[in-house]
């Protein structure tokens, strides 16, 4: 199933609760929450208190992307704050397997994210330990970037690897996804679509509905 995960990094923080209600009522299934520590990536973003507060106003799936060094230090706290899916960067963990096991032990889904420069093959040995693979389609850390064209081949490679290993793993994409190129990543094999500016610039309701329409259309037509 194709899933839309609006990224609140592009939302209006002064009315975040209202923004979330708009995308939820329009039909978005997940809410993508980027957590940045200023070390793994230069930027800083949302922390535990924001997630805990948002959990009180919505039942949406919280798709939490940890762009932090040694995320195992915070996994329990994010699980407690309301995260449903906790995705960590392969490049940020000294012990990837232990980190993923810890996420699962807390009853949460676990994901691995890869920077554009990290080979897709690097996740092969973890496919039986993850529920989601996040293929970054821009450099992590900043919103509003343009989609990197080389990402399409990486998504195809990821889908091929997952199918070869008969793994039950979603492929999520994050960065520069718009209504103009979302069909490209869907056809390549992605099924969880993170969109920030494409959702929170302009009419949020119309943007979500238009994106979902494309997701459903590609789902009916089949994917590569």
In this predicted structure, what is the pLDDT of residue 224?
A: 42
SS3 sequence, 66-92?
A: EECCCHHHCHHHHHHHCCCEEEEEHHH
> Domain residue spans in the chain?
3-221
Quote the CA–CA distance of 89 and 116 in Å, as a whole number: 12
pLDDT at 151: 98
189 is in an annotated binding site: no
Choice among 12, 34, 77, 101 that is catalytic = 34
Instruction: For residue 174, say whether it is annotated as part of any ligand binding site.
Output: yes
Report the pLDDT value the prediction gives residue 104, as an integer from 0 to 100.
98
The CA-atom distances, in angstroms, between 11 and each of 38, 67, 130, 171, 204 are 20, 18, 28, 23, 10
Percent of the chain with pLDDT over 70: 97
Rounded CA separation 192/195 (Å): 10
174 catalytic? Reply is yes
Token reading at 155: 């998504």
Look at residue 27 and give its three-state secondary structure.
coil
Residues 129 and 97 sit within 8 Å (Cβ to Cβ)? yes
Kindly report the CATH number that applies to the domain delimited by 3-221. Answer: 3.20.20.70
95, 174, 180, 206: which one is catalytic? 174
Q: Residue 41: its pLDDT value, please?
A: 85
Is-contact 69 97, C-beta < 8 A?
no
Comparing C-alpha atoms, which of 9, 5, 11 is closest to residue 24?
Answer: 5
Q: What pLDDT is recorded for position 175?
A: 93
* Cα angle 68, 71, 76; round to 5: 130
**CB-count exposure of residue 27 (10 Å: 0-12, 13-18, 19+):** middle
User: Model-level pTM?
Assistant: 0.94
Residue 117 assigned ligand-binding role: no
Instruction: Tell whether residue 52 is among the known ligand binding residues.
Output: no
pLDDT given for residue 126 in this prediction:
97
Q: pLDDT tens per residue, the chain (224 residues)?
A: 999 999 999 999 999 999 999 999 999 999 999 999 887 887 778 888 899 999 999 999 999 999 999 999 999 999 999 999 999 999 999 999 999 999 999 999 999 999 999 999 999 999 999 999 999 999 987 767 899 999 999 999 999 999 999 999 999 999 999 999 999 999 999 999 999 999 999 999 999 999 999 999 987 655 44
Q: Is 113 annotated to bind ligand?
A: no
Please report where in the chains the tokens 């915070």 appear, as a residue.
74
| Residue 141 counted as an annotated binding residue | yes
Q: Is 180 a catalytic residue?
A: no
Give pLDDT, residue 39. 79
For position 146, what pLDDT does the model report? 92
Q: How many helices (H) and strands (E) does the chain have?
A: 8, 8
pLDDT tens per residue, range 152-194: 999 999 999 999 999 999 999 999 999 999 999 999 999 999 9
Write down the residue that tokens 């704050």 correspond to: 81
């Amino acid at each position: 199933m194709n899933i839309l995960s609006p990224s609140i990094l592009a939302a209006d923080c002064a009315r975040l609760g209202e923004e979330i209600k708009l995308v939820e009522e329009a039909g978005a299934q997940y809410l993508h929450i980027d957590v940045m520590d200023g070390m793994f990536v230069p930027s800083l973003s949302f922390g535990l208190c924001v997630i805990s507060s948002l959990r009180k106003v919505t039942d949406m799936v919280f798709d939490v992307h940890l762009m932090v060094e040694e995320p195992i230090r915070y996994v329990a706290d994010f699980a407690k704050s309301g995260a449903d899916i906790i995705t960590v960067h392969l490049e940020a963990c000294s012990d990837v397997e232990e980190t993923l096991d810890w996420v699962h032990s807390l009853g949460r889904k676990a994901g691995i994210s890869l920077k554009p420069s990290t080979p897709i093959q690097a996740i092969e040995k973890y496919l039986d330990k993850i529920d989601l693979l996040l293929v970054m389609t821009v450099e992590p850390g900043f919103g509003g970037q343009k989609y990197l064209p080389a990402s399409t081949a990486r998504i195809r490679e990821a889908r091929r690897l997952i199918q070869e290993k008969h793994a039950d793993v979603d492929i999520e994409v994050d960065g520069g996804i718009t209504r103009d190129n979302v069909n490209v990543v869907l056809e390549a094999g992605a099924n969880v679509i993170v969109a920030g500016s494409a959702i929170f610039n302009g009419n949020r309701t119309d943007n979500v509905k238009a994106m979902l329409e494309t997701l459903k259309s590609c789902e009916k037509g089949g994917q590569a």
